[in-house]
Amino acid sequence: MTKRYHCPVELTVDVVGGKWRAVILAHLKEGMHRYGELRRRMPGISEKMLTQRLRELEADGLVARDDRATVPPHVEYRLTAEGASLAPVLQALYDWGQERAARTGVPVGDPA
Amino acid sequence: MTKRYHCPVELTVDVVGGKWRAVILAHLKEGMHRYGELRRRMPGISEKMLTQRLRELEADGLVARDDRATVPPHVEYRLTAEGASLAPVLQALYDWGQERAARTGVPVGDPA
């Protein structure tokens, strides 16, 4: 059964999902990342949760996982074309977050 | 204790929250709505959940509730200036949802 939506916003929020999905996608929008790089940029997420969210995003066709099958392993994550089509959404989320932080004084630190 | 964020996207998703908060805000972006109008536009949400989400959005300063104190009661909801500043975010969510629906054939119906 295909789910029926009553507003396009409902559909987008279903796909972009909760906090971590959007944050992962926003980082990958800036370019390929290795797993460890994502971990470093997202100190608030557990290893288990990051792995789960990445698998979901892969299954949904938004993120691609490139495994170069080398020793030591070298695995990179990047946005697919469908994931890249979310760029205006991710940019809008980013811009508003910055403005809100400036207005309210909530700290938004760069972990890098 | 102030929460610390590591990415502006994280902050925005915390504020815009889950599906219903974004959908309510998107409807109010189009103008004032009475409670019954919101109900009609959002057939998928229970009355209890709509009331809860509206109270949260009011508490967060994104939505204002105008009660004209008349008999019969006439209560309207609208975006505050802070809520209205989310317009680019809500528009991006809407646009991508429409494009995604067109690409995938997922139905997005207008309940009105």
- Does the domain spanning A8-103 belong to CATH 1.10.10.10? yes
Nearest-CA distance A15 → chain B (Å): 9
> A109 at the B interface (CB within 8 A)?
yes
How would you classify residue B47: left for phi > 0, otherwise alpha for psi between -120 and 50, otherwise beta? alpha
Domain residue ranges in chain B: 8-103
Judging contacts by C-beta atoms under 8 Å, the chain B residues touching residue A80 are: none
* C-beta atoms of B43 and A6 within 8 A: yes
Cβ-based neighbours of A32, under 8 Å, separated by 6 or more? A66, A76, A77, A78
Per-residue pLDDT reduced to its tens digit, B5-57: 999 999 999 999 788 999 999 999 999 999 999 999 999 899 999 999 999 99
Per-residue pLDDT reduced to its tens digit, B66-94: 998 888 888 999 999 999 999 999 999 99
Q: Is residue A91 scored above 70 in pLDDT?
A: yes
ipTM: 0.90
pTM of the predicted model as reported, rounded to 2 decimal places = 0.91
Per-residue pLDDT reduced to its tens digit, A10-66: 999 999 978 899 999 999 999 999 999 999 999 989 999 999 999 999 999 999 999
Q: Which of A10, A85, A106 sits opposite B5 (nearest CB)?
A: A106
Cβ-based neighbours of A59, under 8 Å, separated by 6 or more? none
Contact A63, A54 (CB under 8 A): yes
* C-beta atoms of A98 and B26 within 8 A: no
* C-beta atoms of A108 and B44 within 8 A: no
Q: Which of A4, A27, A96 sits opposite B86 (nearest CB)?
A: A96
pLDDT of residue A72: 86
Q: Which of A10, A43, A86 sits opposite B23 (nearest CB)?
A: A10
Per-residue pLDDT reduced to its tens digit, B53-68: 999 999 999 999 999 8
Contact B4, A101 (CB under 8 A): no
pLDDT of residue B112: 46
